[in-house]
Amino acid sequence: MLSAFGVPSATAGAPSLAAPGILKPLPPEYFTLRGTNAEARYETLKDTGVLTPVDRFFVRNHTSTPVLDASDWHLTVWGDGLHGRTPVRFTYGQLRDLPSVTRTALIECAGNGRSLYTTQQGESVAGTPWTLGAIGAARWRGARLSDVLRLAGIASDAVDVQPRGLDASYVTGGVDLGRVRRPLTVAKALDDVILAYEMNGEPLPYDHGHPVRLVVPNWIGIASIKWLGDIEVSRAPLASPWFTDHYRFFGAAHPPGGSAPLTRQTLKSAYELPFGATLEAGRTHRLEGRAWSAHAPVRRVDVSTDGGARWRPARFLQPSRHEPWVRWTTPWRPHGPGPVTLLSRVTDLAGNTQPERAVHNTQGYLFDAVVRHPVTVV
């Protein structure tokens, strides 16, 4: 049983994993625990549509979920990038009174697929060893960040805004990095960013940022600050540890001080099938998967069931490709028995496609290579 915002009630029956600081139930059939985070079992998204239900949506918490009350919540917009430099407050009611927008968008952690750098490419990377389930799509409803910034009096020469969460300060390796925050350019802030108070038609659940979170479409998950408390607006570029030390490419293939801060997510495709699944020889299986790109709508998905020797197009399972991800299917009649590597490769309308190998970076961000999916035919 769930209360309105996803807090387990006393009658919760099914066994759940216990993640420190996550409030919603985490049944082991849907989630894998990774420290303070819960990864969705990607293959169980198979029986969901475009939208990921809250009860299967991954949670990435630097510390733990704070329980905030909408009635005494407010957002403070402040900084030298405002006319008059006077902080402006918005209550929850005032935010809800602004015109609302509704949009389906993915939230995907920059490190989604990170463990494949190791399992598939033999490279070591630091960070939460996500497989493919640090992703979900939801229908978000909220106010436009552009409306809020204009009402607050953003100056024409403001360059950056920095949203910050109300969750506890993040302490790592004995260093207090302060509360989770990361700047974004005014250009992106005024474009398509939402201050979301609804997820899939329900009030935003506690674990996903109740009462209000940012949704920054197509950018890495860290941009979409949960439990939003304040936004700094600045005439000079802003920074934070999540901008300078994390969420950049570091390593041999990158500039000595690291790449530019990462913004946009990448593209991926994968079968909705457990790694190591067994499939019966001599009958036709209807394999399914998903594909997505943060750059452009999906144009095609090609699949190979012989380790990459021959490729054929997959068939789309939904009428529109203009959704943040596309579900696809392909029939396969294995002869077997023995191990087989299944492959899929997405190409988007901008011409981006998945390489055979992802370029290594020390923190394992933006894995984009064709996933080599091992199965056994019996």
Give contact residues for ligand MTE (rule: CB under 6 A). Answer: 57-62, 107, 109, 165, 167, 180, 208, 221-222, 224-227
- Which CB sits closer to ligand MTE, 61 or 344? 61
Number of residues written out for the chain: 378
Distance between CA atoms of 158 and 249, rounded to whole angstroms?
Answer: 27
The listed partner (ligand MTE, Mo ion, none) that binds 62, CB under 5 to 8 Å by sort, is ligand MTE
Selected binder of Mo ion within 113, 133, 221, 289 (CB under 5 A): 221
**What's the closest the beta carbon of residue 378 comes to Mo ion, in angstroms?**
37
Bin 321: left if φ > 0, else alpha if -120 < ψ < 50, else beta: alpha
- Which CB sits closer to Mo ion, 222 or 228? 222
Bin 11: left if φ > 0, else alpha if -120 < ψ < 50, else beta: alpha
Confirm if 212 and 204 have CB atoms less than 8 A apart: yes
- Which CB sits closer to Mo ion, 60 or 144? 60
Strand-pairing partners, residue 160, are: 185, 234
Residue nearest to Mo ion (CB): 109
**What's the closest the beta carbon of residue 180 comes to ligand MTE, in angstroms?**
4
| Torsion of the alpha carbons at 48, 54, 59 and 63, rounded to the nearest 10 | 180
Stretch in the footprint of Mo ion (CB under 5 A) among 37-45, 80-88, 103-111, 168-176: 103-111
The listed partner (Mo ion, ligand MTE, none) that binds 58, CB under 5 to 8 Å by sort, is ligand MTE
Task: List strand residue ranges (DSSP E) for 19-174, in order.
Answer: 31-34, 37-40, 74-78, 88-91, 100-108, 135-144, 160-165, 171-172
Bin 256: left if φ > 0, else alpha if -120 < ψ < 50, else beta: alpha
**What's the closest the beta carbon of residue 221 comes to Mo ion, in angstroms?**
4
60 part of the interface to Mo ion, by CB under 5 A: yes
Stretch in the footprint of Mo ion (CB under 5 A) among 189-197, 219-227, 230-238, 259-267: 219-227
**What's the closest the beta carbon of residue 313 comes to ligand MTE, in angstroms?**
31
- Which CB sits closer to ligand MTE, 214 or 301? 214
Confirm if 75 and 88 have CB atoms less than 8 A apart: no
Strand-pairing partners, residue 232, are: 78, 162
**What's the closest the beta carbon of residue 171 comes to Mo ion, in angstroms?**
18
- State the pairing for strand pair 298-304/338-348: antiparallel
Distance between CA atoms of 103 and 101, rounded to whole angstroms?
Answer: 7
Element (H, E) at 92: helix 92-97
**What's the closest the beta carbon of residue 217 comes to ligand MTE, in angstroms?**
13
- Which CB sits closer to Mo ion, 209 or 221? 221
For residue 40, give both structure tokens. Answer: 């969705």
The listed partner (ligand MTE, Mo ion, none) that binds 365, CB under 5 to 8 Å by sort, is none
Stretch in the footprint of Mo ion (CB under 5 A) among 58-66, 100-108, 145-153, 196-204: 58-66
**What's the closest the beta carbon of residue 36 comes to ligand MTE, in angstroms?**
8
Residue nearest to ligand MTE (CB): 165
Confirm if 218 and 235 have CB atoms less than 8 A apart: no
**What's the closest the beta carbon of residue 377 comes to ligand MTE, in angstroms?**
35
Helices (H) and strands (E) in the chain, counts: 5, 23
- Which CB sits closer to ligand MTE, 230 or 348? 230
Residue in 147, 142, 135, 148 with CA at minimum distance from that of residue 199: 142
**What's the closest the beta carbon of residue 374 comes to ligand MTE, in angstroms?**
27
Q: List CB contacts of 37: < 8 A, sequence separation 6 or more.
A: 19, 58, 59, 60, 61, 128, 134
Give residue for tokens 């750098």: 117
- Which CB sits closer to Mo ion, 206 or 247? 247
Selected binder of Mo ion within 40, 59, 82, 109 (CB under 5 A): 109
196 part of the interface to Mo ion, by CB under 5 A: no
What residue ranges bind Mo ion (CB under 5 A)? Answer: 60, 109, 221-222
